[in-house]
Structure 1
């Protein structure tokens, strides 16, 4: 344990060192003076500007601004903006009054009249700006705007101009002739320049205008850089970028004697209509606090607060490692590194939340996204835990190894071989398949067993009469029951079998009707019950028809992962999932648990969990002691998985109280394994579908409302989770499952293909209490459905791909990084749905046949000359014998 503690301390120290190593510091020219002018619009809580604006708030804003600037520029002369000049005069601030010009002539007249009145009544008004980018927005024609400017000039004694983008001045020299000075807007961000190019570009354009209009007073009426929001091609917003650009620009402008106005004084959260960067152009935040220092190196003043959050979360999430039973140093390192990675993400979330403004809609969307990410992070951590345990932890310690001979048993006083009663429930099963199962039982190398075969709710004699005759032929050990109108599905049939079980049977064995057991099944596993605390022993499922088709081949590989990875790991904590077939249960444990229950459709898992809750030990072996049949069709495969998921959710609803403190005899490890197991299966699949659908809904908002997804806190974790899941699957399959790489790839596709199926089962579990037990079709009696078995998966998968395409196409000009990442997430989320489509198409194609691939390989080898071409053999014509020749001659 000392080594583990040392590892945790090392990882924490390394994490802290990384924060120190990556702390960003940038040099920039110091500015110790006062800015000549900044843009200002009155701000009210709730992000509105209207006629009821609070003068006290304007007074507080301007008092704060009087310490950083000599003048302000406004953009309107009404709706509360008329209060700005007189209040600004109280603090010695000059005001460049703006008159907002639109297409509405009445509105324009009101703005102009108010601006003229403000200029006449307030001596601190040093100019009027008639319109702001009115030509750029096509709200006014050049000649019409000139007439408005002339009208104002006749009425006031201060300079009059209009605010326009620099190229509007360049392209309309008559506009420049009509104003007292040129008020040019130079905003390199909107022209896709980087923060390193921004100042040079502004200086260049200033020189261009001076050259174009010699002798004319030129003012850079807007220059700025946003501190947050999305990138625009090469233009990257950010707090460091804003500080660097503005400090470099001010130093250059002061050295040149340039007149300029900075956009803007304070952040304005209500400017979200200007895109993601709209609210973040201020040199002060919306509370009036400076966003950066004008002297010294540029640093994030909250950097070490964020580091402390990251380290604290990392430490807290690493503490459970100390509760693991003898973890290795490598295992502890992986887990602690992952925990500290989550801590770094938590700090990023905090930084984003505290550094951005949210209206109700965006706050709701972000909160919902984070809520959905919490279980996603837990699932990823659970999978990393399993990777660390399998790859770097101790090997399995509780796994039952195959024994050579039957050891003397002590179950039951004086009984050498405890009696086992094997129960085989059947419902409309193929007769020959069930006969094979019974024949295999008859060959068991164990001296003391009986077999109860119960066929329920199968009135057709063709299904039960031959089985009854076969049981009679096999001898007195075999009991046959034909039960009609059985309530409670498979559990009801098993209860009837229990009533017919021999009184001296101490162990109950359960196998499905399609399983051919090995002779040594009981011989090897019954001795485990010599420990009186053992209540259940489970062997894995295996299948003998994996070579029937390519689809069956990959399905068999998918099943193997559960039995060779998950069950082996859960067995270490006495927390296996009981899956019925190939299961041995102590009769006393079954009686204590109440026997088979029909209130879930996964009666085996339900009973197994109840047995564990009673305090019994359970054991697992990964040795195959029998082989069954795979589902006949992809439809049957999905129905089986739906039944398991729906039954699993029923079990969650039934047993959740027993996971509360004192609710049962489950250990903390058992509670953790079952809880994480349900979350990792039911939760992960359901969450994947929910997030995919929500992202689809979000696509038009991102594509057409100019709102992007914050990548570091919402989309990148989804990608990271996908990478963890992919690594988890590949690494654990390579370490634990003895299959080839091609089958492993197919198993991955099969596992992904049931995401929609499992999520539907969970949704139905939320709104219903009981669904009918759906038998899994096996043995070749199934008919292929005429319906396409992945219709809804195809719809959702295609919509996700269309959504990704729309995002990429609409992002062609802006090239916003977050949008491309979001589009990539949609593609990743489409994979499980497309996996279902691929298997559904495979099932009905020639490529599902192994013969097709063998013949293709042969033809390919012949084409490229690896092997000679096989030519058809032509028989030589037979030669007539001599007697026939003589006969023809005669």
Structure 2
């Protein structure tokens, strides 16, 4: 009944939050909608550039236009224009005057002039023939921006114009941008009128000044060439593509500017030609903007109304899709455990934001033409960024739960009462006896050891001997360690500590750590009900078992886990940073996962019911993180787990940064093995896992391994894209696939810093260092996951611990990260250096490259920081690691050791 009451209280709260988030989302769209008033276009336009190529045609690749095609397009423009301008008299365009004549349309016939003199002769011949044959040909335009492109000098072009004028029955000119006319007065002396291209966009003029700038230039030309008729032979504005300095393209801007210009030209008596009739998808030579100058799109649909209020096209569909997707994603808020209103609102608001981004991104091809390169980038970006967006939603959910939620319910307090934390009353002694249980069950502590420093292991054994618990044994298994210096001192120490301590030495053991733990089980007392796991470097508190073992009096409990901790965090500033990085997982991720009974089991400070271990199949060697694998298997059989934040034991940190990387590589690779092994079992009905538990484990894997791998993949993809953006001028809009990378990065920063502040409560310098350390592992984790995709197994790599700061500095461990990070920074610098037109999308892309470089540079920074610290320690009387006097130098690469495959801050702070 209490669950029903909770649901009844929760549903209205979540529903109100979801509705409010949707309303805010809709209001943002409404407030941001562009509605513009501009003069109506009364009657037909004076002239339109007529290049009738559809999306599959390209004049530069030899497209020949048929009469039927030309007639179709002439029918489209006929209701809107009095005249058209063409740019060539070959490739089928020589048929235009005949067809235009059928519709009563005048033609300004073009002739394309290029370095190809044979074609030039044919173009001029055809143009003159058309002028003589059709009375609707009102002028000839010989060449289009030929001088601007440098294909002819001003004098050469003037000579061509002089000869054509001598033969032409109609006025002759050439098309050039307005400044070319001023720079080459010899052109004006050889034409009948000046055909000036005045394109404010290419000059970076802001949209609000575009028309007035054109009028001012027109007046400047009149003053420079008195007595010459001036025609604005090209005026236009693109509906899509990138900005040019202060000039922003867009459908609303295009409509407003063209309608305003037509009205102003009419008032000033200016003859004009609008570029152009149809969008030209083939114009990739003009970058991302070249395809968007048409009055009609490539499907021959009018892009805006010529009268009335101007609105953004497709806006209703995009808003509808954004609200629908956002609201559907918001429904996940109903799955939150006992949420507060603001917690549910933050989650629903984030879902609405993702819905808006997805709608805009997916709708991008509706209003843009994707050439092969940009299409590949768009698809690849979606594949990479959609999972990252959903992972960001899960991180926002965690922020909401911790910052705005009610706090943990299942977390064991520092002062533990087994009775208080059982879901039902704890049985009394007689009832426990009937169940085969005791209030203080016998605990068998298992310690696998492979070439561990004897003095360190002896300290662990001494702390066990001081446990304030009457019913335990300790089984130490040393395996594959032939050197007596590692074995004999431990054996003698176990003998000195008494009969509770069992020593086992296995010289040839297969199965690595799992194999050693199987041996320990063989030597476990029959009456032991609970197996306790300890790493060889852990010193435990006396009340560890006294506090936690009684929890097994609840027959449903299979696992009780305490955090890992380290006693050598003050060994150096470098080790303090490592210690802070580990703390995030145990104080944040594990606490939240415990609320769903979905903790990640790690092979130290862990108590496992022997029956649950056996039921799950025991220790398996088919993953290199056997502890996490076993913990998940136990939960799949329906056992519950408990977690406490109290530190009951402290181990040793990795000696150096390379060991830190090796350890995390092992965790990530093992985590991928576990995901691959278990995910098919996650289908409903295959295990006793609840839907919430399955969600936690899958999100944990994706959050940690997936986010880092996708981040590296996106960085490599963007590196490949740099030369395309820098030299071909093709960049996707920032709102689609570049700005989201920055937003995801900021979410990760907020997630890490806020949750560390709320839960870990470290000094700022340690939290900052933890963030850098976590970030520095991105490539290590991605490399491990990639190996996991292609290799079924890897050898165990032991984490070096206990060297006390005396280990010599080895090879630089961040070589490849330095190379990749440098390439990303250089790519960013190249984009900025070549961005002479100040394209905003390119600046954003350059910023994205810097963001993507940070994890790689963080790796380099950590390696340099460690090297500086180690060199400093080596040059001084550096103390050994606290409480450890390691007398045996340890190998760099050996086989054994395992700890949990931790996901993100939810599993590892590697946000």
Is TM (by shorter chain) over 0.5?
Answer: yes
Q: CA deviation at 1:686?
A: 0.8
Given the alignment of the two structures, is residue 687 of structure 1 paired with residue 710 of structure 2, yes or no?
A: yes
The range that moved more, 663-672 or 408-417, is 408-417
**What is the CA-CA distance between 1:3 and the residue it aligns to?**
2.0
SS of match in other structure, 2:688: coil
Rounded to whole Å, the distance in 2 between the matches of 1:414 and 1:11 is 51
Determine helix, strand or coil for the equivalent of 1:566: helix
In the other structure, the counterpart of 2:653 is 630
Q: Does 1:14 align with 2:38?
A: no
* Residue matched to 2:606: 583
Q: Deviations over 1:304-328 (max 9, x none)?
A: 2221111111110011111223211
CA contact 1:633–1:784 (8 Å) conserved in 2: no
**Contact 1:43–1:268, Cα closer than 8 Å, also in 2:** yes
**How far apart, CA to CA, are the structure 1 residues paired with 2:353 and 2:417?**
50
1:259-317, Cα deviation, whole Å (9 max, x unpaired): 00000111111112111110000111111111111211221242222211111111100
Structure 1 stretch 399-408 or stretch 112-121: which is displaced more?
399-408
Which residue of the partner structure matches residue 795 of structure 1? 819
Alpha-carbon separation, structure 2, partners of 1:3 and 1:768: 48
State the match for 1:518 in structure 2: 541
Cα distance change, pair 404–136 in 1 and its aligned pair in 2 (3 A): closer
Task: Choose from 349, 373, 377 the match for 1:337.
Answer: 349
2:485 corresponds to which residue?
A: 462
Match of 2:864 among 815, 834, 841: 841
Matches within 5 A, 1:224-243: 224-243=236-255
Name 2:265's counterpart in structure 1.
253
1:763 CA drift (Å): 0.9
Does residue 488 of structure 1 match 2:488?
A: no
Distance in 1, matches of 2:873 and 2:554, equals 47
Instruction: For 2:197 and 2:34, locate their aligned partners in 1 and report how far apart those are by CA, in whole Å.
Output: 31
> Which position in structure 2 is the counterpart of 1:868?
none
Alpha-carbon distance between aligned partners in 2 of 1:246 and 1:125, rounded to the nearest angstrom: 25
| Mapped contact 1:578–1:604 kept (Cα < 8 A) | yes
Per-residue displacement from partner, 1:625-671 (whole Å, max 9, x unpaired)? 00000001111111000000000001111111011232222111011
The CA deviation string for residues 475-529 of structure 1, in whole angstroms up to 9 with x for no partner, is: 1111001001111110011111111111111100000000001111111011111
* Alpha-carbon distance between aligned partners in 1 of 2:667 and 2:869, rounded to the nearest angstrom: 30
The 8 Å contact of residues 96 and 127 in structure 1, kept in 2 or not, is answered as yes
Moved more, 541-550 or 146-155: 146-155
Q: Which runs of 5+ in 1 are unaligned?
A: 856-890
Alpha-carbon spacing, 1:31–1:495, altered in 2? closer, same or farther (3 Å): same
Distance 1:377 1:128 in 2: 56
Distance in 1, matches of 2:735 and 2:182, equals 41
* Contact 1:549/1:848 (<8 A) preserved: no
The Cα of 1:14 is off from its aligned counterpart by 2.1
Q: Is 1:541 matched up with 2:564?
A: yes
Tell me, yes or no, if the aligned pair for 1:321 and 1:332 is still in contact at 8 Å.
yes
Aligned 1:137-156 pairs, distance under 5 A: 137-156=149-168
Deviation at 1:215, TM superposition (A): 1.7
Question: Does 2:526 align with 1:503?
Answer: yes
Deviation of the 1:123 alpha carbon: 2.4
Contact 1:405 1:523 in 2 (8 A): no
SS at match of 1:276: helix
Unaligned runs of 5+ in 2: 1-10, 420-427, 879-911
Larger gyration radius, structure 1 or structure 2: 1
Partners of 1:121 and 1:482 lie apart in 2 by 106
1:863 matched residue in structure 2: none
Residue in 2 aligned with 1:769? 792
Quote the Cα distance in structure 1 between the aligned partners of 2:249 and 2:438: 80
Residue matched to 1:778: 801
Give the secondary structure class of the aligned counterpart of 1:280.
Answer: coil
- Counterpart in the other structure of 1:746: 769
SS at match of 1:447: coil
Which residue number in structure 2 is paired with residue 32 of structure 1? 42
The CA distance in 2 between the partners of 1:406 and 1:30, in whole Å, is: 80
Q: Tell me, what secondary structure is at the counterpart of 1:485?
A: coil
Question: Shift of residue 416 of structure 1?
Answer: 4.1
Give, in angstroms, the shift of residue 852 of structure 1: 12
Q: Which residue of structure 1 aligns with residue 293 of structure 2?
A: 281
- The within-5 A match list for 1:594-605 is 594-605=617-628
The partner residue of 2:728 within 692, 700, 705 is 705
Return the offset for 1:532: 0.7
Deviations 1:683-706 (A, max 9, x none): 111111111111111111111111
The aligned counterpart of 1:420 is: 443
Q: Is 1:432 the counterpart of 2:444 in the alignment?
A: no
Cα gap change, 1:437 to 1:325, in 2 (>3 Å): same
RCO (CA 8 Å, sep 6+): is it higher in 1 or 2?
2
Q: Secondary structure at the match of 2:37?
A: coil
Conserved 8 A contact 2:442-2:529 = yes
Decide which of 771, 782, 802 is 1:759's aligned counterpart.
782
Question: Which of 615, 628, 642 matches 2:638?
Answer: 615
With the length of structure 2 as denominator, give the TM-score of the two structures: 0.92
Separation in structure 2 between the aligned mates of residue 510 and residue 818 of structure 1, nearest angstrom: 54
Contact 1:545 1:552 in 2 (8 A): yes
Supply the distance in 2 between the matched residues of 1:767 and 1:625 (Cα, whole angstroms): 39
3-state SS of paired residue (1:332): helix
Instruction: State the shift of 1:105 in Å.
Output: 1.1
- Aligned 8 A contact 1:642 1:757 in 2: yes
Whole-angstrom CA distance in 1 between matches of 2:760 and 2:796:
31
Quote the Cα distance in structure 1 between the aligned partners of 2:241 and 2:575.
50
Aligned pair partner of 1:59 in 63, 71, 83: 71
Query: In 2, Cα distance between the equivalents of 1:423 and 1:416?
Result: 21
- Compute the displacement of 1:207 (Å): 1.2
SS at match of 1:279: coil
Aligned pair 1:806/2:830, yes or no?
A: yes
Task: Tell me what 2:321 maps to.
Answer: 309
Instruction: Give, in angstroms, the shift of residue 156 of structure 1.
Output: 2.7
Contact 1:420 1:450 in 2 (8 A): yes
The answer for the alignment partner of 1:665 in structure 2 is 688
Using the alignment, how far apart are the partners of 1:342 and 1:414 within structure 2?
51
Q: Tell me, in whole angstroms, the C-alpha distance in 2 between the residues paired with 1:470 and 1:264.
A: 91
- Confirm or deny: 8 A CA contact 1:550 1:850 kept in the other structure: no
CA contact (8 A) 2:441 2:550 kept: no
Q: Which moved more, 1:161-170 or 1:399-408?
A: 399-408
Q: How far is the alpha carbon of 1:847 from its aligned partner? A: 8.8
Contact 1:596–1:603 (CA<8 Å) still a contact in 2? Answer: yes
User: Secondary structure in 1 aligned to 2:621?
Assistant: coil
Aligned position for 2:411: 399
Deviation, structure 1 residue 114: 1.6
Q: Distance in 1 between matches of 2:653 and 2:136?
A: 87
Q: Confirm or deny that 1:85 pairs with 2:109.
A: no
Which deviates more, 819-828 or 424-433? 819-828
Q: Which moved more, 1:496-505 or 1:288-297?
A: 288-297
Is residue 120 of structure 2 the alignment partner of residue 108 of structure 1?
A: yes
Q: Distance between the aligned counterparts of 2:236 and 2:552, measured in 1?
A: 78
Compared with structure 1, are the counterparts of its residues 195 and 416 closer, same or farther at alpha carbon in structure 2 (3 Å cutoff)? Answer: closer
| CA 51–616 in structure 1, closer or farther in 2 if over 3 Å, else same | closer
Displacement of 1:405 in angstroms is 7.6
Shift of 1:83: 2.2
Deviations 1:203-261 (A, max 9, x none): 11111111222221111101111111111111111112111111111111001111000
In structure 2, the CA distance between the partners of 1:247 and 1:847, relative to structure 1 (3 Å rule), is: farther
Q: Deviations over 1:112-157 (max 9, x none)?
A: 1121222223222111111001111111122222222233223331
User: Cα RMSD (Å) of the superposition?
Assistant: 1.8
Counterpart CA distance in 1 for 2:69 and 2:718 is 40
